[in-house]
């Protein structure tokens, strides 16, 4: 099957919004092995919408359109397509009823203009909208099918799930293309590539690295029956893990803070964090995980030396002798956070996020991380350099600190306790 996408909306051509719908739909098509050779974007103009559809019908058997289904005068997609195909618009009672109920349950008056959304081309299939008022439309035209979806991403995505996915599965003979992402942290992109160099030449699955801030994503992709694809992805994951081991922290949508939280929860351990340069980002990430109150006892953001002493008990002599950014102070912050929070583990982070405050000896991007469980302590020095900029240095530091914690928890869990 060959598909073509048409995004409709003047706001896209004015650059007021980025077309994320197109990327979403492209992924859906790719996962089903549907070829997508062209994508068009047009404004809210009937003649140009028709020109785009005419062209797409010449070169594709599935045309997926998004946008222009709203209630305003600018929303012209359905009428333009109906006119092009010579189909009269007919009011669909179920669509009208859905719109009426939608407003009634929200106790808002339905503006008269909204009922225009109940007009569909004669003979078209109506795709219900469970998140909004405008129904989607599927039209069979000769050998081709035209699917028109709303531009609101949540509404569009629900219709893809409800209608387009089953429709595609029926027509692609059960062949799927699926990807799995292995998330790697603690090693740079080129070092990761070096270790898996030969795997990059595999075809089942293919392995493609993508560098992200503080991590590398390895995208494994395979095509075939769902069973064959699952087996290929499992085998690919096994091969990658054999090379990278603990550097793989998660799969697909897993986050580092989620993985760390799960390890803390399973081990029944609590944590306290003393942060300087990250300014609260570490606890912000940890507390994005529901239920994190079970293991996160305390966070202290101690930028100043006074706060480091008063709240984390960092001795003033230590600060005077080594400076706020030093392995000694990081360790004292970790121990102080652990003590103040009455936690099992203490994490301490100090560094220079910049852009100012760096010296030749202690440049911007220099960071010290410390972790203690009250018996052992581990201190790491990392140098990110000034180039990434303040926000990225904060993110990279939080990533390295959470990874230090993760590796400790993994090792700890190996000792039968």
Q: Contacts with its own copies in 346-375 (CB under 8 A)?
A: 353-357
Assess 42 for contact with its own copies (CB under 8 A): yes
Q: Where are the alpha helices (DSSP H) in 40-164?
A: 46-59, 77-85, 93-105, 153-159
Assess 72 for contact with its own copies (CB under 8 A): no
Choice between 45 and 175, CB closer to its own copies = 45
C-alpha separations of 357 from 62, 281, 391 in Å: 58, 20, 15
Choice between 204 and 206, CB closer to its own copies = 206
Q: How far apart are CA 179 and CA 318, in angstroms?
A: 51
Nearest approach in angstroms of CB 55 to its own copies is 8
Of residues 162, 166, 130, 164, the one with CA closest to residue 145 = 164
Choice between 95 and 114, CB closer to its own copies = 114
Q: How far apart are CA 306 and CA 184, in angstroms?
A: 37
Nearest approach in angstroms of CB 237 to its own copies is 19
Instruction: Annotate each residue in 389-408 with x if it binds its own copies (CB under 8 A) or - if it does not, as one string.
Output: -xx--x--------------
Strand partners, 138: 125, 147
Choice between 383 and 391, CB closer to its own copies = 391
Q: Is the dihedral of CA 280, 297, 369, 282 positive or negative?
A: negative
Assess 39 for contact with its own copies (CB under 8 A): yes
Q: Total residues at the site for its own copies (CB under 8 A)?
A: 73
3-state secondary structure of 392: helix
Q: How far apart are CA 365 and CA 386, in angstroms?
A: 5
Nearest approach in angstroms of CB 359 to its own copies is 15
Choice between 30 and 89, CB closer to its own copies = 30
Of residues 368, 371, 369, the one with CA closest to residue 346 = 371
Assess 20 for contact with its own copies (CB under 8 A): yes
Nearest approach in angstroms of CB 381 to its own copies is 21
Instruction: Annotate each residue in 184-223 with x if it binds its own copies (CB under 8 A) or - if it does not, as one string.
Output: -----------------------------------x----
Assess 135 for contact with its own copies (CB under 8 A): no
Assess 43 for contact with its own copies (CB under 8 A): yes
Q: How far apart are CA 195 and CA 177, in angstroms?
A: 26
Q: Which of 128, 245, 268, 291 binds its own copies (CB under 8 A)?
A: 291
Q: Which of 26, 382, 410, 412 binds its own copies (CB under 8 A)?
A: 26
**Which window, 31-39, 141-149, 151-159, 234-242, contacts its own copies (CB under 8 A)?**
31-39
Nearest approach in angstroms of CB 123 to its own copies is 29
Assess 23 for contact with its own copies (CB under 8 A): yes
Q: Is the dihedral of CA 180, 185, 189, 193 positive or negative?
A: negative
Site of tokens 């803070």: 257
Nearest approach in angstroms of CB 357 to its own copies is 8
Q: What angle do CA 132, 7, 49 make, to 5 degrees?
A: 105
Of residues 370, 351, 366, the one with CA closest to residue 408 = 370
Assess 14 for contact with its own copies (CB under 8 A): yes
Strand partners, 210: 217
Q: 309: part of which helix (H) or strand (E)?
A: helix 305-312
| Residues from 226 through 285 that contact its own copies (CB under 8 A) | 273, 275, 277-284
**Which window, 43-51, 127-135, 155-163, 259-267, contacts its own copies (CB under 8 A)?**
43-51
**Which window, 12-20, 98-106, 112-120, 158-166, contacts its own copies (CB under 8 A)?**
12-20
Assess 22 for contact with its own copies (CB under 8 A): yes
User: 407: how many CB neighbours lie within 10 A of its CB?
Assistant: 18
Q: How far apart are CA 205 and CA 19, in angstroms?
A: 29
Assess 36 for contact with its own copies (CB under 8 A): yes
Lookup: tokens for 105: 């349950």
**Which window, 88-96, 97-105, 234-242, 292-300, contacts its own copies (CB under 8 A)?**
292-300
Count Cβ atoms within 10 A of the Cβ of residue 280 and give its class: 0-12 exposed, 13-18 middle, 19 or more buried: middle
């Amino acid at each position: 099957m060959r598909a073509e996408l048409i995004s409709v909306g003047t706001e896209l051509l004015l650059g007021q919004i980025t077309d994320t719908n197109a990327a979403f739909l492209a992924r859906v098509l790719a996962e089903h092995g549907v070829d997508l050779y062209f994508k068009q974007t047009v404004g809210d103009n009937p003649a140009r919408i028709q020109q785009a559809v005419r062209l797409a019908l010449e070169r594709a058997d599935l045309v997926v359109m998004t946008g222009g289904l709203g209630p305003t005068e600018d929303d012209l997609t359905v009428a333009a397509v109906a006119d092009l195909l010579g189909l009269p618009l007919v009011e669909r009672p179920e669509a009208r009823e859905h719109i009426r109920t939608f407003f009634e349950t929200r106790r808002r008056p339905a503006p008269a203009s909204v009922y225009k959304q109940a007009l569909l081309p004669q003979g078209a299939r109506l795709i219900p909208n469970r998140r909004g008022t405008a129904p989607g439309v599927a039209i069979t035209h000769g050998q081709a099918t035209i699917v028109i979806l709303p531009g609101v991403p949540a509404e569009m995505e629900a219709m893809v799930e409800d209608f387009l996915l089953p429709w595609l599965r029926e027509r692609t003979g059960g062949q799927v293309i699926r990807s799995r992402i292995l998330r790697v942290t603690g090693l740079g992109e080129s070092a990761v590539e070096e270790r898996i160099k030969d795997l990059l030449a595999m075809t089942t699955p293919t392995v493609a690295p993508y560098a992200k801030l503080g991590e590398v994503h390895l995208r494994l992709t395979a095509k075939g029956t769902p069973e064959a694809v699952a087996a290929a992805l499992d085998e690919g994951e096994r091969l990658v893990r054999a090379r990278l081991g603990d550097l793989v922290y998660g799969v697909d949508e897993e986050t580092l803070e989620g993985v760390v939280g799960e390890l803390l929860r399973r081990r029944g351990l609590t944590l306290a964090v003393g942060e300087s340069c990250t300014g609260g980002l570490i606890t912000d990430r940890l507390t994005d995980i529901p239920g994190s109150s079970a293991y996160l006892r305390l966070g202290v953001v101690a930028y100043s030396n006074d706060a480091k002493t008063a709240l984390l008990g960092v001795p003033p002599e230590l600060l005077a002798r080594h400076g706020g950014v030093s392995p000694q102070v990081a360790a004292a912050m970790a121990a102080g956070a652990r003590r103040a929070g009455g936690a099992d583990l203490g994490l301490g982070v100090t560094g220079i996020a910049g852009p100012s405050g760096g010296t030749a000896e202690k440049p911007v991007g220099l960071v010290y991380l410390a972790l203690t469980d009250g018996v052992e302590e581990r201190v790491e020095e990392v140098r990110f350099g000034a180039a990434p900029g303040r926000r990225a240095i904060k993110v990279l530091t939080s990533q390295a600190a959470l990874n230090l914690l993760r590796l400790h928890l993994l090792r700890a869990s190996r000792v039968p306790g």
